[in-house]
Amino acid sequence: MIASQTTTEASPTGFTHKQILTILTGLMLGMLLAALDQTIVATAIRTIADDLNGYALQAWVTTAYLITATLATPLYGKLSDMYGRKPFFMGAITIFVVGSLLCTIAQSMYMLAAFRAFQGLGAGGLMSLALAIMGDIVAPRERAKYQGYFLAVFGTSSVVGPVLGGLLAGQSSILGISGWRWVFLVNVPVGIAALVVVFRVLHLPRVTKPMVRVDWWGVLALVVGIVPLLIVAEQGRDWGWGSVASVACYVVGVAGVVAFIAVEAALRDAALIPLRMFKNSTFALGVVISVVVGAAMFGGITLVPQYLQVDRGSSPTMAGLQMLPLVLGLMTGSIVSGQLIARTGRYRAYPLIGSAMLTLGLFLLHYVTADTHMWVVMVFMAITGFGLGNLMQPLTLALQNALPPADMGVSTAAATFFRQIGGTMGVAVFLSILFAQLGPNISHELQVSATTPAFQQAVREGLHSTNPTDVALSRGLVNHDVSAAGGVLQDSSVVQKLSPELARPFKVGFADAMSTVFLSVTVMAFVAFVLVLFWKEVPLRLTAGIQARADAERAAVE
C-alpha cells in the first residue's frame, strides 16, 4: 500500500486509492511510450539508417523528434489548463501511436524524419500532462508517494529500451516485417492500452475557466527562437560552432527568444508561459535549477553507455543491462524521498541530498579508467542514480506546489520544457568536449605506446594479420600516420575490431577524454547544489488541484 488511505476511502477529490492506482497505470503507460521509444530508437538508429541508405542523415531523425516534442510541451500545458487535461492527454497518445505507425512504413530517412517530427507532437504532452493530472487528483504531500513510479518508468526504459532495441533491430524480419520497423510498431499495443485505461477511469470535472484566446503568436515566436537553437545544439559539432550556419542559428534563435518574451509580456495571463510565474522566486529559481539539472543529468547519463560500449566492449544491449545499478539507485532514491516527504510534509532536504550525491557520483566517475573494475564503476553509477532519485521528484513537486492550482498544467509543462532545453544543451556541450579531447588523446596514446616493445610487436604482427582492421592501423603506424585515431570519431566499433594490444591506446585515450567530460559535468552538478542552497521551501498544500480550484471558485462566489 503506497498511500495512507484505504482502497475504498475516497480522497478529497473523490478518487479512492484503488482508482488513483488505476489512473496511475494509464498515465504510466502513456509516459512509457515516450521514455521507451527514445531508448529503443537510439539503439536501433544505426541499423535503420543503413537499411534506408541514409547514415549521414540519422542525426536529423533525432533532431526532428526533439524539436516538435519540446515545442509542443508548453502548448499542451496551456491548453489543458483552459479546456481540461483528459482530451489532450488522449490526443497526445493518439498522435504518438499514429506517428509510430507512420514510422513503420518509412521508405527513406527523409520520410522517417518527417514521421518522427509528427510523433514528437504527441510525445510533448505525454510526460507533462501525466504529471499535471497527478497534480489534479492527488495533494502535493501525498503526490510524492506516487510520482516515484513515474521515475521508475524512465529508469526501467533506460535498461529495457537498449535491450529491446538491439533485439528487434538485430532481426532481419519478424512476421514478414523488417526487424527495425518493430521498434516503432511495439508502441501501438502499449498506446491502445493506455487509451483504454485513461478513457475508462479518468473522469475529471469539467473546466469552468473562462475561455481565453490561444497564444498562437507566442507559439510562432517560440518556434523561431527554439528551433534554430536546438538544431545548432544537435548539428553544431559537425558544422563547427563558429561556422556561418551555426552563427545564423544563434542570431535567429536569440531574435526569436526576444520576440517570445515581448509577446508573453503583452498577453499577460493569456500567454503560453505567463511571465508573472517568474515573479514567484521559488518557481523562478526552480526553473533555473531544472535547466542546470537537466544538463548535468542528460550529459552524465549519455556518457556512461559510451564508456561501457567503447572501453568495455559491451553491446548496446549489454550496456543497457549494465546501467541497472544507476536505475536501481534512481528508483531507491525516488521511493525513499517520496515516502519521507509524504510523512513529514517537508521536501527541502532531498534536493540538497540529491544534488550533493549527484555531484559526488559524477566526480567519482571521472576517476574511471580503462582498467577500473566493473563493480567499482557500478557503485559510482548507483551513487549517481540515488542522487537523481532524490533530486528529480522533489524538484517537480516543488514547482507544482509553488504556483496556484489553476496554473498546474502550464507550471508542470514549463518545468518539463526547461529541463528538456537544459538536457539538449548539456548533451551538445559535453559531447563536444568529448570529441574535442578524443582525437588528441588517442593520438598521444598511440605515440606513447609506439615506444613500448609489446606494442611494437603487436604492430609487426598486425601487418600480417587476417584482421583487416589490424592491418590498416599497423600500416598507418609504420608510415608514421597517426591520423588513424580519427576513425574512432566516426565509428567507435573500430576499437572492438582491433586486437587487445592495438586497441589499448584507443581505450585509454577514450577513458581519459571521458574523465575530462565527467569533471565538467561535475561542475554543472555542483552549480545545481549551490542553487538549491538558496531555494526557499514552500509548505506543501494538503489539497489536490481539483479540490483547491473548487474551493477557490466557491470562495469567489461567496
Closest CA to 57 of 115, 98, 110: 110
Q: How far apart are CA 353 and CA 395, in angstroms?
A: 12
The residue that leads in pLDDT, 46 or 415, is: 415
Which amino acid would we find at residue 101? L
C-alpha cell recorded at residue 351: 534536493
Query: Average of pLDDT values for 190-215?
Result: 78
Which grid coordinates belong to 557?
Answer: 462566489
Say yes or no to pLDDT of 3 above 50. no
Q: Measuring CA to CA, which residue among 508, 512, 506 is closest to residue 494?
A: 506
Residues facing 173 on adjacent strands: 178
Res 346: pLDDT: 86
Half-sphere exposure at residue 357, Cβ-oriented, CA atoms within 13 angstroms: 24
pLDDT digits (tens, 9 = 90+) for 279-328: 888 899 999 999 999 888 887 777 888 788 788 887 777 777 888 898 88
- Give the long-range contacts of residues 248-255, CB within 8 A, separation 24 or more: 252/224, 252/228, 253/224, 253/225, 253/226, 253/227, 253/228, 253/229, 254/225, 255/224, 255/225
In contact, 41 and 165? CB cutoff 8 Å:
yes
Read off the pTM. Answer: 0.83
The residue count for the chain: 558
CB-based contacts of 150, cutoff 8 Å, min separation 6: 27, 28, 31, 127, 130, 131, 134, 393
φ/ψ region of 240 (left if φ > 0, alpha if ψ in -120 to 50, else beta) reads left
Average pLDDT, the chain: 82
Residue 387 has pLDDT above 90, yes or no: yes
- The whole-angstrom separation of Cα 289 and Cα 422 is 10
CA distance 215 to 195: 28
Domain 1-210, CATH among 3.40.50.300, 3.40.50.9100, 1.20.1250.20, 2.102.10.10: 1.20.1250.20
Shared fold status for 1-210 and 283-434+507-558: yes
Q: What does DSSP assign to residue 16?
A: B
Position 89 confidence tier, pLDDT thresholds 50, 70, 90: very high
Neighbours of 288 (CB within 10 A): 16
Residues forming a β-bridge with 174: 177
At 207, list the grid cell: 473546466
Taking Cα atoms as reference points, which of 338, 415, 375 lies closest to residue 140?
338
What is the separation, in whole angstroms, between the first and last Cα of the chain?
39
Q: How far apart are CA 141 and CA 391, in angstroms?
A: 16
- pLDDT tens for 533-557 read 998 888 877 676 666 666 655 655 5
Q: Are 341 and 367 in contact (CB under 8 A)?
A: no
Pairwise CA distance, residues 271 & 213, whole Å: 9
Of the two residues 13 and 282, the one the predictor is more confident about is 282
| Residue 5: predicted pLDDT | 46
Domain boundaries, the chain: 1-210, 216-271, 283-434+507-558, 440-506
Range name among 164-168, 492-496, 524-528, 539-543 with the lowest pLDDT average: 492-496
Instruction: Select the highest-mean-pLDDT range: 154-158, 363-367, 492-496.
Output: 363-367
Give the residue among 242, 209, 226 at the shortest CA–CA distance from 75.
226
Summarize the confidence of residues 406-414 as an average pLDDT: 83
Class of domain 283-434+507-558: mainly alpha
DSSP 177: E
Q: Measured between alpha carbons, how far is 176 from 179 in angstroms, rounded to an integer? A: 9
Q: How far is CA 522 from CA 62, 149, 290, 515, 527, in A?
A: 26, 27, 16, 10, 9
Strand partners, 10: 16
**How many CB atoms are closer than 10 A to CB 333?**
28
